[in-house]
Chains A and B, each alone.
Chain A
Amino acid sequence: MTTMSPGCSRAVYSPPVDRLEGLAKLTGRERYVDDLPLDDFLWGATVRSPAPRGRITDVQFGPGVDWTQFTIVDHRDLPGPNVIALIENDQPVLAVDSVRHVHEPVLLLAHPDRQALRRAVAAVTITVAPEPAALDFRLPPAPEVIQYGSDNILKHLSISKGDVERALAAAPIVVEGTYETGAQEHVYLEPQGMIAQPDGDVLVLRGSMQCPYYVLKALRTALARDERQLRVVQTPTGGGFGGKEEYPSTIALHAALLALKSGTPVKMVYDRSEDMAATTKRHPALVRHRTGVGTDGRLLAQDIEVIMDGGAYVTLSPVVLSRGIIHAAGPYACDHVRIDGRAMFTNAVPFGAFRGFGAPQTHFANERHMDRIAARLGLDPAELRRRNLLRDGQSTATGQVIRDGTDRVALLDHALSLADYDSKRAAHAIHNAASVTTRRGIGIATFHHGAGFTGSGEVALASRLHVAGLPDGRVEVRSANIEMGQGTLTVFTALAAERLGLEHSDVVIAEADTSRVPNSGPTVASRTAMVVGHLVELACDALRARVGLDAGAAGDAVRAAVRRWHERHPGEDLVGEAVYQRPPGISWDDTTYRGDAYATFGWGAYVAEVEVDLRTWQTHVTDFVALQEVGHVLNDCLARGQIQGGVAQAIGWALLEECRWQDGAMANAQLTNYLIPTSDDLPPIRVAFVENPYPLGAQGAKGLGELPMDGPAAAILNAVSAATGADPCAIPLTPERLMEALS
């Protein structure tokens, strides 16, 4: 195992490689969907529901608009079933006669002039006869608001290990706690956007997205159209964070319907307020803990209840809930665990994928609860964690035995030493005794994040990837995994070049175009570098074998063999293929939720230092140490950037970012009053890695993109608790909330 200090700028055996498309982005040459040249097109727009629930009784096209100039689409224009295909086909593309949330799409309009289009959208009046709406996921639903099954439960999942009731009854100490986390808006800087363009018999969709094959499936279903008459092409994507996992299917379908009806290219680009109001967000959650603890601090029983707000349609809530409950007991050893999770239907704009995918909510609760347990026992929070962190050979809540050689206690101690934990605690005690206006504190969180799809998810995806040999001797990686800022292009290029002994300039990454690239799965779940990157390596090996080379052949030998093959097979496609195989020794039972939930986990130990201003109740994060073990670090600059960005996003979630709700819709859908961190709100985020290569990941890598979302909120609130003596249990911890907690 090797370690890097935060001051060291490069990983042990990766040379520094600049982001491939970085200069194009810095100079403004990178073309996003709204930057593409497009002639003779219409702008598209959506007319949305004004009410959270009810029957549509009237649609009025107001005076002062020449409606004959507009392409108008409603649900009757759908060639196929009116569903956005995902886990459960319950969400209509366009509402029929009733609505289930504010901003639900009802009508589509298109027009060449964007201003005229905006005026027209405002001139449509949709009248809804209101019906009782379910607006608080925490309350048992009254009979008149039941709209899903018999109880509004979108998904119920549970995990059981040992005998929790008996262990709780026998435990000398039982500590309880209830924790709440709010919704979070992604605020990718490029809003959702899509162009639909008829091209002969083929309908081409270009846009900002994480999962081209999800969009293809949604189009194929609702347009009842053969896959060969559809082409989905990802354009450079200005941030996703999960917000462009499932939502792009909706805007793609809308643009497609307008393009099919008008026979003209249609561009839809949301402005910021529509994007914030109408698209998915992180699931709000409520988590209750009841924990049996020994006098020595050992966890004897963990009884955990997780409730998430799913919103008005199923979308991805079942899998978000799944990842949430699997991580809910934290990276600790405990023989008796019961986790019960429910995702609730409400008449809110549907919640969806967001970096961390349920785990940040449950880790927040668990790590805050650990500090509450430490306080009850009079133990140092670090010592409580040392006594309970999983040792190799011990098992998680699902019974997954961890045996990866990572010393999680040493990871925590390393983080504490980087953060100067002990001396800072002593200094804070002196400061807090003397200062009238400020309080300082330091807090920690230890946590884990499963890399790749949950359970048998990766097996079910059966991802395929191609590396093609080109006639000039270069190679082309053909995958559906996309660049959205996390570094896919750079990482895939380096992996292919290093596998085949080629220069980086010998590697081309194909555009993620469903007519050209196989389905290597969605760009989600911290799977791209680890899982799909390994497929890049295996497809390189397959290509080498196809041209008759030995496993060790590299560089000029590869280039020459590829050129020779093309000379003998003019016009043919030379492809090495890799298909995902279940890792050996991994088993998961989806019915009992027992077994190996993930092929591997990343491990984190984060330390936050805060200063609380007692006059304004504002909390400033003054130092942040993020130490993690994520296998081998493929590119230090990119990996560090992922961690820093994730921590920043989590600091926003913890302290600033509050969605204010009105009838299940966001009342502050603009960046003026939904505040994300600026450079001046954040301290330098000090990142360090412990490297422990994971044999089945590309060059030993594990997934890392979501991990940094899991730890910061709890570390920060633990620091606030240390600073002030308050016991805050809900985020965002706005000044108003802290004032209430302290007075």
Chain B
Amino acid sequence: MNVSFTLNGAPASMEVDPADRLLDTLRYRLGLTGTKEGCGEGECGACTVYLDGLPVNSCLVPIYQVRGCRVETVESLDPAALQPLLASGATQCGACTPGVAMTACWIREHRELLATHSIRELLAGNLCRCTGYDGIVDGIRASLEARA
């Protein structure tokens, strides 16, 4: 089948097997390898992308579901916005990092959530095995302050 969607602000259209995962389509068909596979079952968050503005695990999204949707990947993020995460030690091995960066930027854009949730709660869908999360939490806090 053919699917058309908006990818990082530009139109995309392609022939796909409807059961293909969005993750594989991004990585192996479109060459957008920033999105990583950590577990393939929606537990680790390394494959986080925005689907119509909401963070989702792209390993759990069949490609037919993105028809007519907006998809944004880590490649769409502004590198300057990631500087506080770099300075705070938010990345070590980097395998979870693109997903973490997507969640971090999403929290920054939806700071109203912090009235009801802590950063640690909002980040709990992204597993990191290297940092113990302190560097990430500190970086998100710093980027919130930088924009305040």
Contacts of B92 in A (CB 8 A): 19, 239, 485-487, 641, 645
Please measure, in the bound complex, the distance between the C-alpha atom of A37 and the C-alpha atom of B101, giving whole angstroms: 24
Q: Are B94 and A680 in contact (CB under 8 A)?
A: no
Q: Are A648 and B95 in contact (CB under 8 A)?
A: no
A671 interface neighbour in B77, B123, B126, B127, Cβ under 8 Å: B127
Contacts of B58 in A (CB 8 A): none
Minimum CB–CB distance for B132 against chain A, Å: 3
Task: Produce 1/0 per residue, B109-142, CB < 8 A to A.
Answer: 0000000001111011111111111111100000
Which residue, of A238, A239, A241, has the highest number of chain B Cβ atoms within 10 A?
A: A238
- For the complex, is A679 an interface residue (Cβ under 8 Å from B)? yes
- For the complex, is B52 an interface residue (Cβ under 8 Å from A)? no
Which residue, of B83, B88, B92, has the highest number of chain A Cβ atoms within 10 A?
A: B92
Minimum CB–CB distance for B104 against chain A, Å: 9
Name the residue on A nearest B103 (C-beta): A679
- For the complex, is B74 an interface residue (Cβ under 8 Å from A)? yes
Q: How large is the interface on B (under 10, 10 to 19, 20 to 34, 35 or more residues)?
A: 35 or more
Q: Are A27 and B131 in contact (CB under 8 A)?
A: no
Segment of A182-190, A491-499, A609-617 engaged in the interface with chain B: A182-190
Known: A18-B87, A21-B94. A28 touches B33 (CB 8 A): yes
Q: Are B94 and A238 in contact (CB under 8 A)?
A: yes
Please measure, in the bound complex, the distance between the C-alpha atom of A484 and the C-alpha atom of B94, giving whole angstroms: 9
- For the complex, is B55 an interface residue (Cβ under 8 Å from A)? no
Minimum CB–CB distance for B92 against chain A, Å: 3
Q: Are B130 and A25 in contact (CB under 8 A)?
A: no
Q: Are A189 and B34 in contact (CB under 8 A)?
A: no
Please measure, in the bound complex, the distance between the C-alpha atom of A681 and the C-alpha atom of B123, giving whole angstroms: 11
Please measure, in the bound complex, the distance between the C-alpha atom of A23 and the C-alpha atom of B91, giving whole angstroms: 9
Name the residue on A nearest B92 (C-beta): A485
Q: Are A485 and B93 in contact (CB under 8 A)?
A: yes
Contact residues of B between 9 and 54, Cβ < 8 Å to A: 27, 31-41, 43-44, 46
Name the residue on A nearest B123 (C-beta): A679
Please measure, in the bound complex, the distance between the C-alpha atom of A682 and the C-alpha atom of B123, giving whole angstroms: 12
Contacts of B41 in A (CB 8 A): 272, 670-672
Contact residues of A between 1 and 39, Cβ < 8 Å to B: 16, 18-19, 21-32, 34-35, 37
The interface residues of chain A, by DSSP majority, are classed as loop
Q: Are B75 and A27 in contact (CB under 8 A)?
A: yes
- For the complex, is A685 an interface residue (Cβ under 8 Å from B)? yes
Contacts of B82 in A (CB 8 A): 23, 26-27
Contacts of B74 in A (CB 8 A): 27-28
A26 interface neighbour in B32, B73, B86, Cβ under 8 Å: B86
Q: Are A27 and B137 in contact (CB under 8 A)?
A: no
Name the residue on A nearest B74 (C-beta): A28
- For the complex, is A625 an interface residue (Cβ under 8 Å from B)? no
Known: A23-B79, A485-B130, A644-B131. A237 touches B93 (CB 8 A): yes
Contacts of B119 in A (CB 8 A): 679
Q: Are A239 and B129 in contact (CB under 8 A)?
A: yes
Q: Are A26 and B90 in contact (CB under 8 A)?
A: yes
Q: Are A645 and B131 in contact (CB under 8 A)?
A: yes
Contacts of B135 in A (CB 8 A): 637, 640-641, 644
- For the complex, is A647 an interface residue (Cβ under 8 Å from B)? yes
- For the complex, is A720 an interface residue (Cβ under 8 Å from B)? no
Contacts of B37 in A (CB 8 A): 34, 271
Q: Are A484 and B40 in contact (CB under 8 A)?
A: no
Contact residues of A between 636 and 681, Cβ < 8 Å to B: 637-638, 640-641, 644-649, 670-672, 676, 678-681
Q: Are B77 and A27 in contact (CB under 8 A)?
A: yes
Contacts of A237 in B (CB 8 A): 93
Minimum CB–CB distance for A483 against chain B, Å: 8
Q: Are A28 and B75 in contact (CB under 8 A)?
A: yes
Name the residue on B nearest A240 (C-beta): B93
Which residue, of A27, A29, A671, A684, has the highest number of chain B Cβ atoms within 10 A?
A: A27
Minimum CB–CB distance for B96 against chain A, Å: 5
Please measure, in the bound complex, the distance between the C-alpha atom of A31 and the C-alpha atom of B27, giving whole angstroms: 12
Contacts of A189 in B (CB 8 A): 36, 38, 44, 46, 93, 95-96, 127-130
Q: Are A31 and B127 in contact (CB under 8 A)?
A: no
Q: Are B133 and A682 in contact (CB under 8 A)?
A: yes
Contacts of B136 in A (CB 8 A): 679
Please measure, in the bound complex, the distance between the C-alpha atom of A18 and the C-alpha atom of B44, giving whole angstroms: 26
Q: Are B124 and A641 in contact (CB under 8 A)?
A: no
A sample of 17 cross-chain residue pairs with beta-carbon separation below 8 angstroms, ordered by A number, consists of A16-B87, A19-B86, A25-B91, A37-B31, A186-B129, A189-B36, A189-B93, A189-B96, A189-B129, A189-B130, A486-B92, A641-B134, A644-B134, A645-B132, A671-B127, A679-B133, A682-B133
10 closest Cβ pairs, A-B complex? A28-B34, A238-B95, A485-B93, A25-B94, A648-B132, A485-B92, A644-B132, A189-B95, A35-B33, A28-B74
A sample of 8 more A-B contacts (CB under 8 A), given A28-B98, A32-B95, is A28-B36, A28-B73, A187-B127, A189-B93, A239-B129, A637-B87, A645-B130, A680-B120
